[in-house]
């Protein structure tokens, strides 16, 4: 499909969250899209426009939650699935069936990491404030920092070694590389001491993330106002007491 295709992306307008993964893929692909909930209501935007689709006001299968992408009459939900949809249509996925399955496998592994990162500050319930579950959060974060961050980043390091590089799936960048880049950026923000320690053991992964950030479209996006800053409303939240550097 031509790079001039236009999509509507729906996600909360004040955080990166899970919506940042498809945002990065759309930006890297150089395709036109509207970040609808960030637009004013008079342009058909705003959170109410997003909630309307979630309620089923649009024909077709409604999404359970954002992010989701509207492409004409088609609505695609789930972050990794949106990344797959855009990546496969715009040159950011392997051409063969096995390669495409592996790209999705990696994106879903990133989704697992994102879920575990969220559980560090909300281990009991997402409906409770962090302060209401701080003790449980410290226990969850300790295990995440000492066991899970090294396991996930070490896995991506092994995938890179097996691929022959320079990208996770070989000679061509894919949406899987963008997803891994965003996850590591989130860990850098939320757990800087832990991530710095683990990165010393994953130099090839560090190089991959630098290459992603330096690609033309991604570099322009990261330097733009479209890139929302990490903050304590998103998935990756910086609570220094949860960052274990041991």
Indicate whether 15 belongs to any domain.
no
Indicate whether 26 belongs to any domain.
no
Indicate whether 211 belongs to any domain.
yes
Predicted pLDDT of residue 5? 66
Indicate whether 81 belongs to any domain.
no
Number of domains in the chain: 1
If you average pLDDT over every residue of the chain, what do you get? 95
The CATH number covering residue 102 comes to: 1.20.1050.10
Residue 136, domain extent: 97-215
Indicate whether 161 belongs to any domain.
yes
The pLDDT tens digits of the residues spanning 144-183 come to: 999 999 999 999 999 999 999 899 999 999 999 999 999 9
HEC string of the chain? CCCCCEEEEECCCCCCHHHHHHHHHHHHHCCEEEEHHHCCHHHCCCHHHHHHHHCCCCCCCCCCCCCEEEECCEEEECHHHHHHHHHHHCCCCCCCHHHHHHHHHHHHHHHHHHHHHHHHHCCCCCCCCHHHHHHHHHHHHHHHHHHHHHHHHHHHHHHHHHHCCCECCECCCCHHHHHHHHHHHHHHHHCHHHHHHHHCCCHHHHHHHHHHHHCHHHHHHHCCCCCCCCCCCCCCCCCHHHCCCC
The pLDDT tens digits of the residues spanning 64-122 come to: 999 999 999 999 999 999 999 999 999 999 999 999 999 999 999 999 999 999 999 99
Indicate whether 184 belongs to any domain.
yes
User: With bands split at pLDDT 50, 70 and 90, how would you rate the model's confidence at 1?
Assistant: very low
Indicate whether 20 belongs to any domain.
no
Indicate whether 119 belongs to any domain.
yes
């Amino acid at each position: 499909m031509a790079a001039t295709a236009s999509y509507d992306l729906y996600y909360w307008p004040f955080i990166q969250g899970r919506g940042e993964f498809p945002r990065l893929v759309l930006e890297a692909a150089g395709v036109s899209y509207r970040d609808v909930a960030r637009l004013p209501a008079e342009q058909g935007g705003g959170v109410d426009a997003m909630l309307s689709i979630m309620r089923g006001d649009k024909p077709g299968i409604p999404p359970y939650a954002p992010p989701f992408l509207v492409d004409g009459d088609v609505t695609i939900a789930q972050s990794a699935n949106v990344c797959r949809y855009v990546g496969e249509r715009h040159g950011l996925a392997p051409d063969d069936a096995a390669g495409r399955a592996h790209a999705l496998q990696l994106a879903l592994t990133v989704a697992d990491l994102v879920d575990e990162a969220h559980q560090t500050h909300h281990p009991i319930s997402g409906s409770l404030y962090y302060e209401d579950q701080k003790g449980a959060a410290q226990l969850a974060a300790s295990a995440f920092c000492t066991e899970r961050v090294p396991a996930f980043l070490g896995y991506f390091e092994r995938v890179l070694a097996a691929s022959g590089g320079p990208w996770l799936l070989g000679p061509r960048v894919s949406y899987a590389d963008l997803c891994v880049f965003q996850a590591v950026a989130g860990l850098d923000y939320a757990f800087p001491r832990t991530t710095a320690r683990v990165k010393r053991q994953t130099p090839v992964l560090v190089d991959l993330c630098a290459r992603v950030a330096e690609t033309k479209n991604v570099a322009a996006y990261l330097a733009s106002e479209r890139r929302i800053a990490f903050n304590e409303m998103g998935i990756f939240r910086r609570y220094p007491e949860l960052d274990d550097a041991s």
